[in-house]
Structure 1
Amino acid sequence: MTKAVVVDDSHFMRTVISDILEDAGFDVVAQAGDGEAGAAAVAEHDPDVVTMDVEMPRMDGIEAVEEIMARNPTPVVMLSAHTDDGAEATFEAMEKGAVDFLAKPGGEVSTEISAHGDALVEKVRSAARADPASAGDVSATDEVVAADHEYVENPTLIVGASTGGPRIVEKVLSDLPRDADLRVLIVQHMPDGFTERFAARLDRRSEYDVSEAEDGMRIGGGQAVVAKGDYHMEVAGYGNGRLRIRLQQEPQLHGVRPAIDVTMETAAETVTGPLTGVVLTGMGKDGAAGIEAISAVGGATLAQDEASCSVFGIPARAIETGSVDDVRSADEMGKAILDTIREDG
């Protein structure tokens, strides 16, 4: 039976979360009311997974994740307020090694969490299979320098990720030099309200101009967009080296929206210039069909290796299609992408 520790400063929330997990077959071996007690409970009980509130007294969730990863590396799912501050704190916790998060309904302690029980169980079950060492093991960015003339004209890059993805996406994008002049589309499984903050973080930490996708926007060289939460992102047009984006809310695909496959498949149909598809850490099979589509039109395809993935689901399913050109670690992925768009590549 999968062992879990529940950490939240609200007794009500601890009880509700524990009941949901126990009803799903988890063994909740301990509850804690702050980060310090939570880290101690992890050390004592050695659970398979932890749910962690962000805002708590004595030691908050960010500090607790850092403590857990230093002493007893364990997969952690953050429960975050659906606010700007909550989103930023969640990304900081993921930098420290948390593998995934779930937004609390309304950003408040509420019985509505019960209505999100299935999503909570899915997140925790997926996280329990994650490798916490991989989640926290991304090397500092190395400077990438190259001259303009080394790259093909008008290259497009599609990056897809899920569980454990934000830190890896940030690493990959920060390794890409502006003079590569890529048009970058990022599909990270993430709810609405968090994708805008994620885009802002990527914008600060890379040479690319990064924003959250908007319906009808056009993307040129040196620009990157993050698919908006709860919307599929399509490539609806391509001309003069610029992509046109369409957002739509057709039913979820593979249980998610945005879906990696939607963006990759429409890019394969629409983009006539150089095209590279990359799938990173995450649970499920979203991205496999997209990688096949990109490969079928002569595009380059890459997948993250198992050793550096938090969850080797999405890359594994893509590799199984036989359409992945190369498998690389998170640290090597930036260089691998650049290799696909070099004039002599």
Structure 2
Amino acid sequence: MVGGVRAVVADDSHFMRSVISDILDDGGIDVVAQARDGENAVEAVIEHEPDAVTMDVEMPVMNGIEATERIMAERPTPVLMLSAHTDENADVTFEALDKGAVDFFTKPGGEVSMEMSRLKDQLVEMVVSVAAVDVTAAGKAKRSSTGSERTATTQSSTSAGAGDTYVENPTLVVGSSTGGPKMVETVMQNLPAAADLRVLIVQHMPEGFTGRFAERINARSEYEVSEATDGARIGGGEGLVAAGDRHMRVKNYRNGRLRARLTEDAPVNSVRPAVDVTMETAAETIDDPLVGLILTGMGEDGADGIRRIKAAGGSTIAQDEATSAVYGMPKRAVETGCVDSVLPIDDIADGIIDTITTEES
């Protein structure tokens, strides 16, 4: 799987360039060039045409955001941002994702070389995953395509049509990973407030970034969205983003309001927060209409949760391969046989609405 992946490593620290390059080399990835700033990174990408770039956020001459934007314009290449755990870096990292970066990896604090070594398998896996993403103009067009790939079970409307009405007290649980932030935002932007959904979002994202992610969704959608806290309650028109490094469980559900519980239980599917934890507890606890959605990401997290939601009588949707940055989680969900609809990203909001509308007689 790793064989043949070629990477450029960009970081203003010679030490970090060496550490990252050694980890990738040990993992079977060919580091074809190192760059000390963003300008060097752009030059290296044009010269060596790598499969992926690891890009530091803060660099002299040209920072990671500017370099990512230049790369996407001049020689589109999958970029994995390397960011520190700070609020400022969280803002910059999301800006880089807006400019075309595929995902990000958080640099550890403390004894960096020891911590990076501990995380080496994860870093190698992420670089390999990012390298497989098509970021060319054709790939972007394909991933933003609309219309033709809808399944027979769905229609085409982001609001209840004439003669239709929304069911009462619906809940949506969303799971995503690599390439997911922009996909989650797309879905949430297209959901009408009138649908009155309770929304639970589990994005594989470290502590320090989920709060900013929730703020972005809140600003860009009609829903009131916040980072989950232990004991947080939400009703219709509100949403919670699972906090980094905490599982989000549905503790109870009464009269259209649900309460979340955050735990530090062991990782599930090697991740925390895990989509399965939220979906399974939602399926066990919520007795009103429930919709499970799996978006782009690597791994199998969410597949068992989809089974549980389907078994509880809920509706299930997965993003299609053509519009997924990484068709891992959606593929595993589809393979369960418990997914009702497989849809391109621009049709998913419609698909959700279709599951929570009823035709009036």
TM-score bracket for the superposition, by shorter chain length? over 0.9
Distance in 2 between residues matched to 1:224 and 1:47, nearest whole Å: 39
1:206 maps onto 2:209 in alignment:
no
Is the CA contact 2:159–2:353 (under 8 Å) kept in the aligned structure 1? no
Counterpart pick for 1:101 among 104, 116, 121:
104
Report the counterpart of residue 70 of structure 2 in structure 1: 67
Q: 1 CA distance for matches of 2:165 and 2:111?
A: 51
| Percent of aligned pairs with the same amino acid | 62
1:71, distance to aligned residue in structure 2 (A): 2.4
Aligned residues: 343
Matched, 1:51 2:54: yes
Tell me, yes or no, if the aligned pair for 2:145 and 2:344 is still in contact at 8 Å: no
Query: Structure 1 residues 147, 241: CA separation in 2 closer, same or farther (over 3 Å shift)?
Result: farther
Q: Does 1:167 align with 2:170?
A: no
Q: Which of 9, 25, 41 is residue 38 of structure 1 equivalent to?
A: 41
Instruction: Determine the C-alpha separation between the residues in 2 that align with 1:174 and 1:320.
Output: 28
Counterpart residue number, 1:231: 246
CA, structure 1 residues 313+113, in 2 after alignment: closer, same or farther (shift >3 Å)?
A: same
SS at match of 1:307: coil
Once the two structures are superposed, residues 26-76 of structure 1 have per-residue CA deviations (whole angstroms, 9 ceiling, x without a partner) of 110011111122112111111111100011122211121122222222221
Aligned to 1:76: 79
Unaligned runs of 5+ in 2: 147-156
Q: Secondary structure at the match of 2:109?
A: helix
CA distance in 2 between counterparts of 1:70 and 1:296 reads: 46
Check conservation: 1:161, 1:189, Cα contact below 8 A: yes
Verify: 1:323 aligned to 2:323, yes or no: no
Give the C-alpha shift of residue 139 in structure 1.
8.0
- CA–CA separation in structure 2 for the residues paired with 1:201 and 1:180: 20
Alpha-carbon spacing, 1:185–1:135, altered in 2? closer, same or farther (3 Å): farther
Q: CA deviation at 1:24?
A: 1.1
- In structure 2, relative to structure 1, the CA distance for the partners of 1:82 and 1:110 (3 Å cut) is farther
Q: CA deviation at 1:10?
A: 1.3
Measure the CA separation in 2 of the matches of 1:238 and 1:98. Answer: 38
Contact 2:144 2:344 in 1 (8 A): no
Which residue in 1 is equivalent to 2:297? 282
| Separation in structure 2 between the aligned mates of residue 111 and residue 255 of structure 1, nearest angstrom | 20
Tell me the distance in 2 between the aligned counterparts of 1:150 and 1:6: 53
The CA deviation at 1:80 is: 0.5
Which of these residues, 169, 173, 197, is aligned with residue 154 of structure 1? 169
Structure 1 residues 216 and 147: CA distance shift in structure 2, 3 A: farther
1:245 corresponds to 2:248: no
- Measure, in 1, the Cα distance between the counterparts of 2:145 and 2:39: 27
1:2-37 deviations in Å (ceiling 9; x for gaps): 111001111111111111111111110011111122
Residue of structure 1 aligned with 2:26, choices 23, 28, 40: 23
Q: Which moved more, 1:186-195 or 1:8-17?
A: 8-17
In the other structure, the counterpart of 1:218 is: 233
The answer (yes or no) to whether the contact 1:146–1:177 under 8 Å persists in 2 is: no
Give the Cα–Cα distance (whole angstroms) in 1 for the partners of residues 217 and 319 of structure 2: 19
**In the alignment, which residue of structure 2 is the partner of 1:7?**
10
Aligned-partner SS, 1:327: strand
- The answer (yes or no) to whether the contact 1:162–1:282 under 8 Å persists in 2 is yes
| Stretch deviating more after TM superposition (100-109 or 158-167) | 100-109
Q: Does the 8 Å contact 2:57/2:64 carry over to 1? A: yes
TM-score (norm 2): 0.90
Cα deviation, residue 138, structure 1: 4.5
Please state whether the residue corresponding to 2:168 is helix, strand or coil: coil
In structure 2, how many angstroms separate the alpha carbons of the residues matched to 1:109 and 1:89?
Answer: 21
Q: CA deviation at 1:112?
A: 3.7
User: Helix, strand or coil for the counterpart of 2:359?
Assistant: coil
Q: Which runs of 5+ in 1 are unaligned?
A: none
Alpha-carbon offset, residue 192 of structure 1: 0.8
Secondary structure (helix, strand or coil) at the match of 1:106 reads: coil
AA aligned opposite 1:52: M
What is the distance in 2 between the residues matched to 1:227 and 1:18? 32
What's 1:192 paired with?
Answer: 207
Secondary structure of 2:358's match?
A: coil
Tell me the SS of whatever aligns to 1:302: strand
CA RMSD across the alignment: 2.2
Partners of 1:147 and 1:247 in 2: CA distance = 38
2:25 maps to amino acid:
E
